[in-house]
Amino acid sequence: MREQLLITASSILLPPNPSPNPLNPKSYALKRFTLLPKKPCPPPPSPGPPLLSDVSRHPPPDLRLGYYADLASKLASAGRIDDFLMIAESFLATETDPSRFIDFVNVELVSAGISRFLGDGKLRTVVEALGKIEEMGIRPSSLLDGSAKQSLASECRKLVDGGRIEEFVELMESLAGYGFSVKEFVEPFAILKICVKKRDPHMAVRYASIFPHAPILFCSIIQEFGKKQDLVSALIVFEASKWKSDGPNMYVCRSIIDTCGLCGDFLRSRCIFEELLAQNITPNIYVFNSLMNVNGHDLSYTLHVYNHMQTLGVAADVASYNILLKACCLAGRVDLAQDIYKEVQHVASTGALKMDIITYSTTIKVFADAKMWQMALKVKDDMLCAGVNPNIVTWSSLISAFANAGLVEQAVNVFEEMLLAGCEPNTQCCNILLYACVVACQYDRAFRFFRSWVKSGFPNTRGCGGNIYAQLSAKNTGNSGATCVSHHIIDPHQVSFSKVVPFRPTVATYNILMKACGTDFWRAKALMDEMRMLGLYPNHRSWSILIDVCGKAHNVQGAMQAFQNMRNAGITPDVIAYTTAIKACVENKSLKMAFLLFEEMKRYLIQPNLVTYNTLLRARSRYGSLQEVRQCLAIYQDMRKAGYSSNDYFLKELLEEWCEGVIKNSELGPVQMTYPSCSSGKPKTDKPQSLLLEKIAVLLQKDFVKGSSVDLRGLSKVEARIVVLAVLRMIKETYNQGKPIEDDLIIFTGVGTGSGCSESEVQGALIKVLLR
DNA sequence: TTAGGGTTAG
């Protein structure tokens, strides 16, 4: 066979017509004519089929094509791909329709040859040959049968296994262009994951672009980068995706917005949204929902987006409302959440949407957080009426409604009701119940629950008809009036249990238990050790709680040691750990240490927050020296600079006490301070930005020097009096330190805006003070 | 293709 195929190029290029050929053209011609049902011969010019002898003498084009194709096929099967290509090329130079060549080629033979090449590891040669075939206008993929395609795919996979992703992608680009279905070679998602793992967004885009459903793949890549917190790469994919299509794809936009949220860059999500609007593109509901969701912590922005959506005529769906409810929940806006809940109930009544379990659960959480457990129960009834069964999240929110209100018994009842309803508890849910015990200071009860759960787990009611709600809901179906299921009617005897669901505590569980240690430092420490034994690592919260336990036990040393151990354990103290440590110091009169911690956190660029400032400002219930006043005023000013508003009333009271000290001229006894709540007890002179405090802060921060002046403009007579007293006390303190002051003090008394006093009134008040 | 629950400082 092989000898028969030894044909020189020149002999191949000689036209076969009309000379005989070495491969028995007669039998070949007969074979080809009978084997070509798809390409019927041109209709015979005369009635009756042509005679075989006529065909041999004047072979029609198909016959010549068949001859060459068959010859080429046999050469290919013998591993002579170059010869195959040469024949194909020489013939096709005269053929007007190259694609017809395929119809005559013996794909089985060609495939056998190609498989042999692939088996010898000559992948490149095969791909180059396929490239040449493509250049001739022949679709390369149609030359390979299933088996050859599998061999090709297997060779390509070897590149992936060898980590040669770039070569693989390049190959896939070529093969896709040659008509191969490359997604069958290797699962596309697997390749994309490798690109993401290598942090190569460009390669991922290049590979995804091969496929007609590229936008979906772009979404996957963006999401995968998001999971790795790699927003930069995700944005590269997003930008590249824009160039691959006519305009931004809504799927891709939604993905990048979600990813911005996942990576904590919500401002970027807003920019992407603005870009869409700038291009006059109306985002779809998914884009709007994702944008609102990512910015859910900023209620005003979320509402702005919601309004914008309505302006553009994009109808809100149930997810939109759920997100709005979540935003209200985060902002603690029960009032607004109630309005939205009513609105969504109304829309649902028109049939435009159906409230789902998330709508109900989120609303229950809003009420739970606000300790409005009655309202939470009302929503639970609403959901049962609507035929929606509570799930573990709903039950958890209900339990937390009672937990936050300090109602342990009710929390336990709901927990048991949940078990009876056939809902399997998870650790988060159990943690809420433990937390309920802690809020109500039932510490022993928390430990009893914990030990019993660890020992026995929970009964599994799945698959044994335990879900009472499902049963009742099914019974209610078809009733004309709504039959609501109250939370009291469960009969425990209806339910049978089987098997056991184990309880697996988490770090959060132990943290709650540590809180349940009250002031027992050693117990809390033992729990930390127990955590480690279970392979759980104490986190920021664990350490902060331990510090707090020490603080409450009046053990400042222990608190400082715990603070240090936190660092030693590799956990950098955050603002909460610092604030807790500061609190431990403040409550135990270690003020110097408290202020040192404050200085330290600022040195480490940990921004104090409102709680930190308030903890520090309340460190003193009276001020002793000028230095102490200065320290507090500095914190006050720092706080204002950071954008926090302070409890001016409290600070003012302390300052006034201090200032009055100059008149009383005696050591002040302990001052009994009352802490006014936000809603009551505010003096009339209180202004949003206290001019008085600002003036005193500025005055007291610098030493009294020649030419010092006091500007009382804008202050009431009471305030002006305090300022003057402050200056006098400062002078007194300075004098007591042995520094006599002989310079004059200039006082400006012009009445500014908003003081409500005349200049003479202020002056009168001052003279009274100064003459004392 | 979205969206929901737990523990820390006041």
Q: What's the pLDDT tens digit per position in A535-552?
A: 999 999 999 999 999 999
**Chain B bases under 7 Å from protein CB?**
1-10
User: Are the CB atoms for A399 and A431 separated by under 8 Å?
Assistant: no
Largest CA distance in chain A: 142
Distance from CA(A534) to C1'(B2), angstroms, rounded: 36
> Which of A115-119, A157-161, A334-338, A630-634 has the lowest average pLDDT?
A630-634
Question: Looking at residue A97, what is its pLDDT?
Answer: 80
User: Phi, psi at residue A227, to the nearest 5°?
Assistant: -60, -30
Q: Closest nt to A286 (CA→C1')?
A: B2
Distance from CA(A103) to C1'(B3), angstroms, rounded: 55
Question: Looking at residue A737, what is its pLDDT?
Answer: 74
Distance from CA(A430) to C1'(B3), angstroms, rounded: 24
Question: Looking at residue A714, what is its pLDDT?
Answer: 76
Distance from CA(A379) to C1'(B9), angstroms, rounded: 32
More confident residue, A497 or A153: A153
Distance CA A632, CA A623 (A): 9
Q: Closest nt to A360 (CA→C1')?
A: B4
- Chain centroid to CA A283: how far? 21
- Pick from A616, A450, A412, A445: which is nearest to A518 by CA? A445
Distance CA A23, CA A641 (A): 97
CB-neighbour burial class of residue A474 (10 A; exposed 0-12, middle 13-18, buried 19+): exposed
Which tokens hold the place of A577? 């750990």
pTM as predicted: 0.74
Question: Looking at residue A90, what is its pLDDT?
Answer: 84
Distance from CA(A569) to C1'(B4), angstroms, rounded: 34
Question: Looking at residue A44, what is its pLDDT?
Answer: 41
Q: Across all residues in chain A, what is the average pLDDT?
A: 80
More confident residue, A354 or A10: A354
Distance from CA(A434) to C1'(B7), angstroms, rounded: 10
User: Phi, psi at residue A394, to the nearest 5°?
Assistant: -60, -50
Distance from CA(A457) to C1'(B4), angstroms, rounded: 25
- Pick from A211, A269, A207: which is nearest to A235 by CA? A269
Contacts (Cβ under 8 Å, ≥6 apart) of A208: A188, A192, A214, A217, A218, A221
More confident residue, A53 or A136: A136
Question: Looking at residue A31, what is its pLDDT?
Answer: 27
Distance CA A519, CA A524 (A): 9
Q: Closest nt to A586 (CA→C1')?
A: B9
Q: Closest nt to A330 (CA→C1')?
A: B4
Q: Closest nt to A615 (CA→C1')?
A: B10
Q: Closest nt to A509 (CA→C1')?
A: B7
Residue nearest to nucleotide B10 (CA to C1'): A611
More confident residue, A690 or A630: A630
Of all residues in chain A, the percent with pLDDT exceeding 70 is: 75
> Which of A244-253, A354-363, A690-699, A709-718 has the lowest average pLDDT?
A690-699
Residue nearest to nucleotide B3 (CA to C1'): A319
User: Are the CB atoms for A580 and A572 separated by under 8 Å?
Assistant: no
Question: Looking at residue A749, what is its pLDDT?
Answer: 73
Distance from CA(A219) to C1'(B2), angstroms, rounded: 13
End-to-end CA distance of chain A: 130
Strand segments (E) across A675-716: 709-711
User: Are the CB atoms for A207 and A218 separated by under 8 Å?
Assistant: no
> Which of A5-9, A84-88, A181-185, A577-581 has the lowest average pLDDT?
A5-9
Distance from CA(A397) to C1'(B4), angstroms, rounded: 10
Q: Judge whether residue A145 has pLDDT over 50.
A: yes
Q: Judge whether residue A50 has pLDDT over 60.
A: no
Q: Closest nt to A543 (CA→C1')?
A: B8
Give the pLDDT band (50/70/90) at residue A294.
very high
Residue nearest to nucleotide B8 (CA to C1'): A541
Contacts (Cβ under 8 Å, ≥6 apart) of A706: A743
Residue nearest to nucleotide B6 (CA to C1'): A428
Contacts (Cβ under 8 Å, ≥6 apart) of A606: A573, A574, A575, A578
Q: Judge whether residue A422 has pLDDT over 80.
A: yes
DSSP A431-470: HHHHHHHHHTT-HHHHHHHHHHHHHH-EEE-TTTT--HHH
Contacts (Cβ under 8 Å, ≥6 apart) of A552: A518, A519, A587
Measured over the CA atoms of residue A629, residue A736, residue A719 and residue A746, the dihedral's sign is: negative
> Which of A12-26, A54-68, A347-361 has the lowest average pLDDT?
A12-26
User: Phi, psi at residue A567, to the nearest 5°?
Assistant: -60, -45
More confident residue, A695 or A449: A449
Q: Closest nt to A395 (CA→C1')?
A: B5
Q: Judge whether residue A175 has pLDDT over 70.
A: yes
- Chain centroid to CA A616: how far? 34
Distance from CA(A558) to C1'(B8), angstroms, rounded: 18
Question: Looking at residue A151, what is its pLDDT?
Answer: 94
Q: Judge whether residue A334 has pLDDT over 80.
A: yes
User: Phi, psi at residue A460, to the nearest 5°?
Assistant: -95, 120
**pLDDT single digits (tens) A394-416:** 999 999 999 999 999 999 999 99
User: Are the CB atoms for A203 and A169 separated by under 8 Å?
Assistant: yes
Distance CA A366, CA A218 (A): 36
Q: Judge whether residue A287 has pLDDT over 90.
A: yes
Residues in chain A: 772
Most confident of the ranges A492-501, A572-581, A726-735, A754-763: A572-581
Helical packing angle, A443-456 and A507-515, nearest 10°: 150
